[in-house]
Amino acid sequence: MPAGTDIMTHSPVTIHPDPSRTVIRPFVVSDPTGFDHQAVPRVERIADRVLAMHQDTVDFELNRVMTDIGSRHHDFEEVVLRRFETVKGQCGQDEIPADRARLIGAYFSQEYAFEAAALFNPSMVPHDDQTGAPDGGIRFVVSLRGIGEGHLSSVTFRTGSWCPQGGFAVDPPSRFGVTPTIEEGDDASDGTICVNFNDSQDPSETVLFPVTEAQQAGIEDMRLVRLIEDDGQVRHLGTYTAYSGSAARCELMEAVDYKRCTLTRMTGAAAERKGIAIFPRKVGGRYAALGRQDNENIWFLQSDSLTDWGSGTKIIAPLHFWEFVQMGNCGSPIEIDEGWLVLTHGVGSVRNYCIGAALLDKDDPTKVLGRMALPLVHPSLDERDGYVPNVVYSCGGIVHDRMLLLPYGVADGFTAFAHCPVDDLLAVLR
């Protein structure tokens, strides 16, 4: 595997998956083919069993569920009542006592350990609230791709800080994961939905798990960006891959305090693939982004809309031995004095994934001013083993006080951190 430039300082801090962190998801049951023409549908049959239970049994089971499972979640009673409301019309009765309604809601719910198997492919942005930031340092928010039962991907978040003296620190996550309420957006024609985490008290409690048909096989690889509009408005965005099981496409998240998120389908030729990453401001009066829609090269895209992206202009192609198979962006470009710093990934022999960097002209990002001949981060001997061996991958870092701060996933299993001076990085661009 390729040796890197050895300019990164790697942190001992890592983030590993935690199977104890769960959310409540709908438990959907139905009759299999060949048994699906029964006079009484399966949901109604299950509800009938609950309604026929002796009251002592109802009290016992409801207390067990509310105590054992409810203690792991905010407002669990409200969650199961919401679930009951979604199946109420299939229960065959209009008047159902409140205790049995809660129990029916519990029978059609399940705990889902959203990060039990893996927690990787991170993206980083500055935290809006810098209260408590260490001297000379910065607080940040990191998005992470979690994998749970059925290899289903969700997106979760962490907060933390970095400073020159102490390096990286990640705040302990809440023991809760919040189950959201889902509603259609103001314009449902574009597929927008609103996901509300009203009970979330910390970004780590917010979990974006698949809720639509296009997302049913996973929400993958969030690329966060703090977009500043021409009028100074700050928008907290993230692009991610929605995977249906047969097709992948890009979607856009806009978040408010990580408690309310709108999720919108992106359109256009570039959006029908993975990896769009939006620039943190307009370029030449238009929104800009990077794409990798051909799975080989990096493309520069421009649009008057954040959700519609055409084919664009190819700007970076495989050149060095560790990039020969394909190139891609690792996240949104980072604006520095010298231009746009772009973190890249390259795939080489034996499907090694490495992280590199390039510099684009600030006024004309189709001009590549320099790129790395050797990778910035590569799968080291102690970071190559895991679910997908020989892979290091990031969905975006930040620059603070001329220091590149980079979170990255290791072997599709866990997340690590590293940093290096921007000047040292620029010195090795060719």
What pLDDT score does 2 carry?
61
What pLDDT score does 358 carry?
98
Q: Which residues of the chain have pLDDT under 50?
A: 187-188
CATH for 9-21+113-427 is 2.115.10.20
Question: Model pTM?
Answer: 0.94
Residues of the chain with CATH 2.115.10.20: 9-21+113-427
Q: Tell me the three-class secondary structure of the chain, residue by residue.
A: CCCCCCCCEEEEEEECCCCCCCEEEECCCCCCCCCCCCCCCHHHHHHHHHHCCCHHHHHHHHHHHHHHHHHHCCCHHHHHHHHHHHHHHHCCCCCCCHHHHHHHHHHCEEEECCCCCEEEEEEEEECCCCCCCCCCCEEEEEEEEEEEHHHEEEEEEEEEEEECCCEEEECCCCCCCECCEEEECCCHHHCCEEEECCCCCCHHHEEECCCCHHHCCEEEEEEEEEEECCCCCEEEEEEEEEECCCCEEEEEEEEECCCEEEEEECECCHHHCCCCEECCCCECCEEEEEECCCCCCEEEEEECCCCECCCCEEEECCCCHHHCCEEEECCCCEEECCEEEEEEEEECHHHCEEEEEEEECCCCCCCEEEEECCCCECCCCCCCCCCCCCEEECCCCEEECCEEEEEEEECCCEEEEEEEEHHHHHHCEC
What pLDDT score does 383 carry?
83
What pLDDT score does 261 carry?
94
What pLDDT score does 190 carry?
62
What pLDDT score does 380 carry?
87
What pLDDT score does 37 carry?
86
